[in-house]
Structure 1
Amino acid sequence: MTAQFSAEIDQNEFLPEGGRVVDAIVTVTAQGGDLRDTSTALTAAQVIMVDTSGSMAMPGTKIAEAKKATAVAIDTLRDGVAFAVIAGTAGAHMIYPGDNRMVPADAKSRAEAKAAVTRLRADGGTAIGRWLDLANFLFAGQQAEVKHAILLTDGQNQHETPQDFQRVLDACEGKFVCDSRGIGTDWVATELRKVASTLLGTADGLEDPAELPAAFRAMTESAMGKSVADVSLRLWTPAGAKLRFVKQVFPQVEDLTGRRTEVSARIGDYPTGAWGAESRDYHVSVEVEPDAIGEEVLAARISLVSGGQVLTEKRVLARWTDDTALSTRINPQVAHYTGQAELAAVIQDGLKAHADGDVETATAKLGRAVQLANESGHEGTAKLLNRVVEVIDAPTGTVRLKKQVASVDAELADVRSVKTVRVKKKPAEEG
């Protein structure tokens, strides 16, 4: 069935006299929507981009597992889903079908595509923008409600300029969703995150090529399970209010503030892509005009909309009080996700400083990251940081940079920096 949406607001609506800033976490949950229920499934199209540069043969397990993973993704497609496979080098080459088009998935086309994939050979360079450019061309010929791409690379984007790469990303934005994955030791986290951020997908690195088939299956299943397309977070604010920011904060940090589409002077839409059965959290921060003690105002109205239909809606309130016990109370959800956003930023800043040889800044930033990961219970991030620094005291963020850090460890910490964990609510905060 089609996903049904609900929303919850976590905030402290009480402000001190003269207070202006209102922060709220909105948890949006879509229930229902199942990739096995083809009666209500959205029409879909998928492009798989596989790096076939020469380095994919070093070791050969990378190209071998990439072939297996591509075959798994092809088998995961529903009947009728248009698909294509691209081999990526310093150019972009159609592997299946043989010309620049997409074909519906059925028993015959799946078998043909998997046979073509077995013939992939590793040879050439890397120009990710050209792969995306061909994918964009293919998707332009499709009317599918969900357009999803998988991009796999094992190297740096060496054979095109950063300007050309950005130009292609700008052209692709809003046209399709792309999940990017790195394998091996030479991929660059910032490039994968840029693809995922611009194209509303996910980014990650895989340490073992054997992980690829399961990863490709999971990404394809997620795309096939979408049941509501083109969903936007709609935000209304009152006259005189100033929007400070809108961020997705779970399952990963993504700043949506600059992606506003004006509906009216006081209403803006922020893209969230297609939804299946899933849950996401957003942090909305608004600056309002102060009112008198005891007054309550509507600081924001938050809704999810698709095709002009409101899927769910919640209100964010502001109430002024002279009771300091109320006005100074910190909402645990807001505090948690503020820390999670800072965690992502300090990891990225610290790793950049480390790469630049700025030991002092790197130590300070990564120490703060260790402290935040410890406070939030983000065990996955803490383990990755342990590969980059020697932790002397996690609660205070006292660390020492390791003399030798494997490049892949730094890239894994970087690419996963935006992944977040949820705070566990206490019973008094539930229901």
Structure 2
Amino acid sequence: MSHPSFAVDIFQNEYLADGAREVNAIVTVSATGAAPGAQARLSVGAAGADAAVVIMVDCSGSMDYPATKLRNARSATAAAIDTLRDGVAFAVVAGNHEAREIYPGNGILATASELTRQEARQALRKITASGGTAIGSWLTLADQLFLSRPEIAIRHGILLTDGKNEHEKPAALQKVLDRVTGRFTADCRGVGTNWEVSELRKVSSALLGSVDIVAEPDGLAEDFRSMMTGAMSKAVADVALRVWTPANAVVKYVKQVTPDVEDLTGRRTEAGPRAGDYPTGSWGDESRDYHVCVEVPAAPVGNEMLAARISLVLPQPDGSTEVLSQGLVRAVWTDDLASSTRINSRVAHFTGQAEMASYIQEGLEAHRTGDLDQATAKLGAAVRIAHQTGNDGTFKLLQKVVDVVDPKEGTVRIRKNVSEADSMTLETRSTKTVRVKK
């Protein structure tokens, strides 16, 4: 059974000034050695398929305006189905104000083969556009389909919509998310510009997936193919970041900071005395960064303590957990001003990346409400950080919304006639980060 090997590296400045209490560290988690297409390492009994995928396609009435949207959605779903490797369990759901199983249609998941992929592609022709949008019903049906194969641990959804969740109250969607969180992951895509970034991000965040915009329908097929390739690369599910802290210390926050900013603080589940688990989802060959902030009791100069023990853990069928890798976060109190005031370069970098994401979202919201001074200030700050940290992708997206006068100082002017697609693309991708340049 092939699975990744995990490594944990800790980057921090362990030196604190006399009386200081906050310890910050960047935890880099790397997984290597997952053989593509190999049998996954499962957190429950392994049998049969090593992964399951449910594709949820919006078929509300708006998908017919223009008609190319639905045609491209069908083509994109077909491309994703073609990317499924043999043996993977899968299903296709058509969603509007309710959810319908298009394939296989018997309440359980099909097993990918040349025959079932062909049958699924033919079934896509049945999808027609009508009705409204209730994303919670789509997720509920996907969850039911995954539950039909409880022995499969790697469960992934792909969700496409072109509109707002208008036929479902926010509380109803939240109730569904609360129920299915932890049962499967999901990547979400919005096609066109009539959907809400914050709404789709709520779904992708709860389900530890990605969110992105496909402004033009003809870009869907390549995007779906890429998402499915990513899903097929996963080899281990339900890995958690366990943070143990000593007596009188408390975890202030845990955030994923690469490849996207995602606050995991509220996702903690208790894992024994002074320890908590934070979900990280499924892994293939990849590397991610997490920012862990711990508040410790103040101590006199010369004292040293273990501020946190960071472990990667995997649940086992018998209820125990296996430690995949581990790292230590230290605190040393000093009266050397140079040591205690030096900010670790990785901590500083990712703190800036998280701030940049907030500035972009706040700036775009200010622009929507007509507060141009606030929008200019916030987006200017984002430009400055993007320039300083070498986040060229975000810098280019910002340039479609503002004219950059001085990138170093963050001096900008709001552009006139900014397209909705450019604004939504910037907002959707605002949380994407880059690593420190070597």
| Counterpart residue number, 1:405 | 418
> Are residue 141 (structure 1) and residue 145 (structure 2) matched?
no
Distance 1:239 1:266 in 2: 7
Q: How many residue pairs get matched?
A: 425
What is the alpha-carbon root mean square deviation over aligned residues?
Answer: 1.6
> Are residue 131 (structure 1) and residue 132 (structure 2) matched?
no
Give yes or no for contact 2:3–2:40 (8 Å, CA) kept in 1.
Answer: no
Distance 1:90 1:187 in 2: 15
Structure 1: 5+ residue runs without aligned partners? 426-431
Post-superposition offset of 1:152? 0.7
Post-superposition offset of 1:39? 7.6
Give yes or no for contact 2:14–2:331 (8 Å, CA) kept in 1.
Answer: yes
Distance 2:40 2:16 in 1: 49
Post-superposition offset of 1:214? 2.1
> Are residue 330 (structure 1) and residue 343 (structure 2) matched?
yes
Give yes or no for contact 1:7–1:26 (8 Å, CA) kept in 2.
Answer: yes
Post-superposition offset of 1:255? 0.6
Distance 2:402 2:63 in 1: 30
1:337–1:259 distance in 2 versus 1, CA, 3 Å: same
Give yes or no for contact 2:38–2:235 (8 Å, CA) kept in 1.
Answer: no
| Counterpart residue number, 1:22 | 23
Post-superposition offset of 1:167? 1.6
| Counterpart residue number, 1:61 | 68
Q: SS at the partner of 1:264?
A: coil
| Counterpart residue number, 2:13 | 12
> Are residue 351 (structure 1) and residue 364 (structure 2) matched?
yes
AA at the equivalent of 1:226: K
TM normalised by structure 1 equals 0.95
1:148–1:236 distance in 2 versus 1, CA, 3 Å: same
| Counterpart residue number, 1:423 | 436
Post-superposition offset of 1:25? 0.3
> Are residue 3 (structure 1) and residue 4 (structure 2) matched?
yes
Distance 2:107 2:15 in 1: 58
Q: Deviations over 1:384-416 (max 9, x none)?
A: 112222222222222222332222222111111
Match of 2:220 among 188, 204, 212: 212
Post-superposition offset of 1:121? 2.2
AA at the equivalent of 1:106: S
Please identify, of 173-182 and 152-161, the stretch whose mean Cα deviation from structure 2 is larger.
152-161
| Counterpart residue number, 1:116 | 123
Please identify, of 328-337 and 256-265, the stretch whose mean Cα deviation from structure 2 is larger.
256-265
Match of 1:305 among 305, 313, 325: 313
Q: Deviations over 1:280-329 (max 9, x none)?
A: 00000111112232222111110100020000000011111111111111
Q: SS at the partner of 1:36?
A: coil
Q: SS at the partner of 1:193?
A: helix
| Counterpart residue number, 2:170 | 162
Match of 1:199 among 177, 186, 207: 207
Match of 1:363 among 368, 376, 394: 376
| Counterpart residue number, 1:387 | 400
Q: SS at the partner of 2:71?
A: helix
Q: SS at the partner of 2:277?
A: strand
TM normalised by structure 2 equals 0.93
Distance 1:361 1:171 in 2: 38
Q: Deviations over 1:61-107 (max 9, x none)?
A: 32222112111211222222221111111221221123433222222
Give yes or no for contact 1:53–1:122 (8 Å, CA) kept in 2.
Answer: yes
Post-superposition offset of 1:156? 1.7
Distance 1:105 1:37 in 2: 15
Distance 2:189 2:50 in 1: 24
